[in-house]
Amino acid sequence: MSEAESIGVTADLLVIGFGKGGKTLAATMGREGKKVVMVEQSDQMYGGTCINIGCIPTKALVHRADVRRPGDERQSWYQDAIGAVTDLTTMMRGKNFQMLDTLDTVTVVTGKASFLDSTTVEVAAGDDRLAISAGTIVINTGSVPVIPDIRGLRKSEYMATSTDLLHTEKLPRHLAVIGGGYLGLEFAAMYRQFGSEVSVLEAFPKFVGREDDDVAEVVVGIFRDQGITLITDAKVTEVEDGSADATIYYEVDGRPRTLKADKILVATGRVPAIEGLGLDRAGIRTTEGGAIEVDEHLRTSQPHIYAIGDVNGGPMFTYISLDDYRIVADRLLGDGRRSTADRVAVPHTMFITPPFSTVGLTETAARERGYNVRIAAKPVAQTTATPRARIIGDTRGLIKFVIDADTDLILGAALISIDSQEVINLVAFAMRHDVPAGELGNAIYSHPSTTEGFNELLGTVARVRVAVSTADLENA
């Protein structure tokens, strides 16, 4: 920090935001001997969203909710879980800071960054100001939650974002979730497992509406079996605070309804965090959606300035931010050929129990694009060659593959099952490298595992060289 105490600093690389892509790029360039300055507006966000308020703490809470036994007292279990997750994020935040702070070529500056021009950024920390100039600048400021314009919601003492809930030690009696996307549903499932009553208000006609009906039906069934109240076509009009809870006023088909809750999670999406950056002073263009406009190499309208992670309007996932790093690193250290066009078969997972993972096209989308489609689908409970699900004691779910009947290539998959967050990566890899469904179905997998279910499922529809019978699998 000693260098940052001077009036002005010059660097080879300036990174604004300590997220996954930014911190990895800063460390890489620092090890290459480049002078790097990393600016992060809060010392509670070293390491970025994933470490502090995103993937790591939320998935840790999902795990702790799942292992709560019926006899465990709800409030104390929840409070202990919040404490343990806080300890985990504190440890990881420290390690992330050390990762950069131990590099002699990298300086970490804590404060709010704002462009003065296209090569210089001013960092404000209280009354202190520091000007940093760099030949290459990378914006990695992430995203922030959207709070919808609903009367009484913003000022409600019962309103919370996902970040707020991570620091709330009192378990809600009744959690109302506004928004039925991945985030809202993950939190709904988690808090139901902790013991809260949970209701989810979704403005659209269907939950998981982008998926095929058979897939969505299984996912929704898991939530309903948990005892979660799912309300579709819900238009929330007002939130009114009471002494012990809030009343949520909403309409379904124009008919007024009410719901009481002592905590309201707003899960209606996120937008790129660009406020206060002074992008206009740097000549950096933004899109209509408020993201920083970038090309396939993540360059902004200023070629020496890059935008990576959520702030560029791409898919808001940590692993996309990491791939953004690879693209920019290739521009700075490699041949510059890598681009966002290289991304195919990017998997996604909703961390409910069992997890719900997808990659590629749905059956509906594949048919709309004119593919000659062949489907391999089976409930997990009816799949003989998935003993791991029985070992774990959770045979809920569905495995579905969408296959091009003309080429035997996998167009997409939806896995609702134990271990799907891991198995989906194998499917995505096969898709990226044009591995036929028959080859995936005829591969040798460890036993007992979830992947070996592919032997049975894909062997029934794909063109395989060796016939595999159900009797063989039952005797395995």
| Total Cβ atoms within 10 A of residue 405 | 16
Cα(280)–Cα(134) distance, rounded to whole angstroms?
18
| Amino acid, single-letter form, for residue 23 | K
The token duo for 414 is: 């939806």
Answer yes or no: is 181 a known binding residue: yes
Active-site residue, 297 included: no
What tokens appear for 395 in the block? 């045979």
Tell me if 269 is assigned to a ligand binding site: yes
Does 195 appear as a known binding residue? no
227 belongs to an annotated ligand binding site = no
182 marked among binding-site residues: yes
| Residue 359 near residue 347, CB atoms below 8 Å | yes
334 annotated as a binding-site residue: no
Contact 278, 192 (CB under 8 A): no
Which helix or strand (DSSP H or E) is residue 228 part of? Answer: none
Q: Identify the active-site residue in 174, 297, 348, 447.
A: 447
439 labeled part of a ligand binding site:
no
Contact by Cβ (8 Å): 364, 323: no
Determine if the peptide bond prior to 205 is cis (ω within 30°): no
User: Could you tell me where the DSSP H helices lie in 277-336?
Assistant: 279-282, 318-333
Residue 83, marked binder: no
184 annotated ligand binder = yes
Residue 202 known to bind ligand: yes
User: Pseudo-torsion of CA 42, 13, 330, 422, nearest 10°?
Assistant: -10
Please give the Cα distance from 395 to 379 (Å, whole number): 8
Q: Is 310 annotated as a binding residue?
A: yes
End-to-end CA, the chain: 61
153 is in an annotated binding site: no
Q: 237 among the known binding-site residues? A: no
Query: Residues marked as binding?
Result: 59, 141-143, 179-186, 202, 269, 310
Q: Active-site positions? A: 447
Query: Residues marked as binding for FAD?
Result: 59, 141-143, 310
Query: Residues marked as binding for NAD(+)?
Result: 179-186, 202, 269
